[in-house]
Amino acid sequence: MNTYQGFNKQELNYSDPLELFNSWFEEAKKLEINDPNAMALATANKEGFPNVRMVLLKGVDTGLVFYTNNNSQKGVELDQNSNAAICFHWKSIRKQVRFKGKVSIINSEESDSYFNSRPRGSRIGAIVSKQSSILESPKTFAEEYEKYSKENENKDLTRPDYWVGFRLIPSEVEFWLNSEFRLHQRLRFKLDSNVWTKNYLYP
């Protein structure tokens, strides 16, 4: 590895951080061994107590889209506090991207479309799971899953109201490049009056 790795000219020419993110994401999809769309989602409840977990990115448009049970811990926290943060770490290509922004529920049509694209087993799991609530034992969930599967074997599966998509619209995005001897590079995009500004940050 070179002692000093910098952003290339094309990367520095991007005025929209989502365009640069898409460029890095395409690279990660080719070179990251496991789940390049895995991201750490940080939320906070109404008291401001933080929480973080891994979820999967399922779309990039005006923001970052992911899906979950709205009754889950993260769903409840996002209802109480719409501010959230996301971090991607692609170890194979030695890059990170961090997002800050507000999260909102996407429209029903988008959620329906993605839900219906999932394997039937995954849809049943989403319907049956009382995500984040106390479970007597893993066996209980397995039995509930099997029971629902048999009872609905020849039926169409409809997305439950509590299983929804969320979109984080970024107000700040930071790109991080690894180099030796802590000569890492950090490039931050920050939204100011609907215009993205760029600055380097010390590592």
Specify the long-range contacts of residues 110-114, CB closer than 8 Å, at least 24 apart. Answer: 110/65, 110/165, 111/67, 111/159, 111/163, 111/164, 111/165, 112/159, 114/58, 114/59, 114/67, 114/165
* Mean pLDDT, residues 68-94: 96
Average pLDDT of the residues of the chain: 95
* Residue 117 placed within a domain: no
Flag whether the pTM goes above 0.95. Answer: no
* Residue 156 placed within a domain: no
Domain count, the chain: 1
* Residue 189 placed within a domain: yes
Q: Rounded to an integer, what distance in angstroms lies between the CA atom of residue 27 and that of residue 125?
A: 31
Q: Rounded to an integer, what distance in angstroms lies between the CA atom of residue 203 and that of residue 201?
A: 6
* Residue 3 placed within a domain: no
* Residue 4 placed within a domain: no
**Predicted local distance difference test score (pLDDT) of residue 27:** 96
Here the CATH number for the domain that contains residue 18 is: 2.30.110.10
pLDDT-derived band at 28 (thresholds 50, 70, 90) equals very high
Whether 39 contacts 55, CB under 8 Å? yes
For 48-65, the pLDDT digits (tens) are: 999 999 999 999 999 999
**Predicted local distance difference test score (pLDDT) of residue 157:** 96
Q: Rounded to an integer, what distance in angstroms lies between the CA atom of residue 159 and that of residue 127?
A: 7
* Residue 142 placed within a domain: no
* Residue 118 placed within a domain: no
Whether 84 contacts 168, CB under 8 Å? yes
pLDDT-derived band at 1 (thresholds 50, 70, 90) equals very low
Which candidate in 159, 182, 186, 188 is catalytic?
Answer: 182
pLDDT-derived band at 145 (thresholds 50, 70, 90) equals very high
* Mean pLDDT, residues 57-77: 97
Give the range of the structural domain holding residue 32, as residue numbers without chain letter.
9-109+165-201
Percentage of the chain with pLDDT > 70? 98
**Predicted local distance difference test score (pLDDT) of residue 150:** 97
**Predicted local distance difference test score (pLDDT) of residue 39:** 98
* Residue 131 placed within a domain: no
pLDDT-derived band at 4 (thresholds 50, 70, 90) equals low
- 182 given a catalytic annotation: yes
CA angle in degrees (0–180, nearest 5) for 7-8-13 = 95
**Predicted local distance difference test score (pLDDT) of residue 183:** 83
* Mean pLDDT, residues 163-191: 94
